Structure 1
Amino acid sequence: MKLVKEFGGAEYEFTIRETKTFEIIEDVKLLHSELGIIYLSEYNETVIRKILDESSIEFYPLFTVKPHVFLYKAHPLAGLGLINLEDLDEYPCLSFEQGAYSSFYFSEEILSTRNVKKSIRVSDRAAIVNFLIGLNAYTISTGIFPKYLHGEDIVSIPLNINEQIRVGVLKHKDLTLTHLGEIYWDALKNIAKQI
């Protein structure tokens, strides 16, 4: 938002896409996007890095975090300081639908291969929030949740597992960033320093 306010002027055209992991990689590969943001984990890194190498895309780490569970603040588990996977067994698990490229390697959630009793796949973040609040559901992510999406109603609790999430920026090897692209990347680095 800050970038648009600072550089928008009287006329402008910005495109910020929130999309599926495979589409992020394709957009950077085909130079439709200067930059993309994805995560790597122990589970998906080998496959994703192979695809990035074949696509002439580089991954630049921004930050590494432990997985967290997002819950509604009134959820029965919201008062815990640490959540074990078995604590989640009776609650609906939310994940992002990945379309035709629904391979577990492209999942937006770590531990996507875990068997759960109740699973709901959604295609947008607003739906995730509604299900978190309305169904005592949960999702597993970085622990970073934007305030504009009912952030005051959602809590983030560390998950007791030995995994890490590495969030980073994708850039095509043959692309020289525009001035705005460089400013955006610098803004991402500054945000990452605060995490």
Structure 2
Amino acid sequence: MQFASEIGILYLNNFNRQVMQRLFKEYDLEFTPLFKALPHVFVGRQNPLTKKKRVTLADLADYPYLSYEQGDNNSFYFSEEILSTLDRKKNIKVSDRATIFNLMVGLNGYTISSGIISNKLNDDKIVAIPLDVDDSMTLGWLKHSQLELSPIAKNYLKMLKEHIRGYGFEIIEK
């Protein structure tokens, strides 16, 4: 058996949970939850929405929605963004982080994620605002059940947990 990756990081929510758990079982994969997060909107610091403590989907209606291109064969259950199937007036698909950040700043676009954003990666140009929706994300890691984690993977997970705690999230311990 050949594995392209030792571990993967993904989220489960109300929309994708059932399908993803069925795939985990079918492919003999183990999902280990790391933490739960509420959806946040990522926008450029100059976006008028930053004046709000929370935003609604209605608040976002006139702003371009930015999401990652998933390829022709990927199901919307594999989307990197929560709430990706909602109808929106303006949609822009991108292939990389630099482009999505530039469009958040330059076009007042937005994307939806966990609320964890690294200032080291975005130079304080992007901020996260809580999104007022009835949904949550369980972020975790995935591995094949037959695979024993390497020391590098174990160290990566240890560092990842420390990073997550640094954002004020509580790690889910099994």
TM over 0.5: yes
Computed over aligned residues only, the root mean square deviation of the Cα atoms, in angstroms, reads: 1.4
User: Aligned partners of 2:2 and 2:39: how far apart in 1?
Assistant: 31
Deviation track 1:5-58 (CA, whole Å, cap 9, x = no partner) reads xxxxxxxxxxxxxxxxxxxxxxxx942211110111110111111111111111
Q: Which of 109, 116, 135 is the matching residue for 1:137?
A: 109
Q: Which of 64, 69, 73 is the matching residue for 2:36?
A: 64
Q: Which of 39, 61, 77 is the matching residue for 1:105?
A: 77
Q: How far 1:151 sits from its partner (Å)?
A: 4.0
Q: Is 1:43 the counterpart of 2:12 in the alignment?
A: no
User: Aligned partners of 1:187 and 1:50: how far apart in 2?
Assistant: 29
Change over 3 Å in CA distance of 1:145–1:54 after alignment to 2? same
User: Aligned partners of 1:165 and 1:182: how far apart in 2?
Assistant: 23
Deviation track 1:43-97 (CA, whole Å, cap 9, x = no partner) reads 0111111111111111001111000001111101111000010000000000111
Change over 3 Å in CA distance of 1:79–1:106 after alignment to 2? same
Instruction: Identify the residue that residue 51 of structure 2 maps to in structure 1.
Output: 79
Give SS of 2:149's match.
Answer: coil
Q: Is 1:158 the counterpart of 2:130 in the alignment?
A: yes
Q: Is 1:175 the counterpart of 2:147 in the alignment?
A: yes
Q: Unaligned regions of 5+ residues in structure 1, if any? A: 1-28
Letter in 1 for 2:61: D
Give SS of 1:144's match.
Answer: coil
Change over 3 Å in CA distance of 1:30–1:96 after alignment to 2? farther
Q: Which structure has more helix as a fraction of its residues?
A: 1
Deviation track 1:83-113 (CA, whole Å, cap 9, x = no partner) reads 0100000000001111023321011111111
Give SS of 2:120's match.
Answer: coil
User: Aligned partners of 1:183 and 1:83: how far apart in 2?
Assistant: 37
Instruction: Identify the residue that residue 87 of structure 2 maps to in structure 1.
Output: 115
CA contact (8 A) 1:129 1:149 kept: no
TM-score normalised according to structure 1 size: 0.82
User: Aligned partners of 2:130 and 2:2: how far apart in 1?
Assistant: 37
Q: Give the fraction of aligned pairs with identical amino acids, expressed as a percent.
A: 45
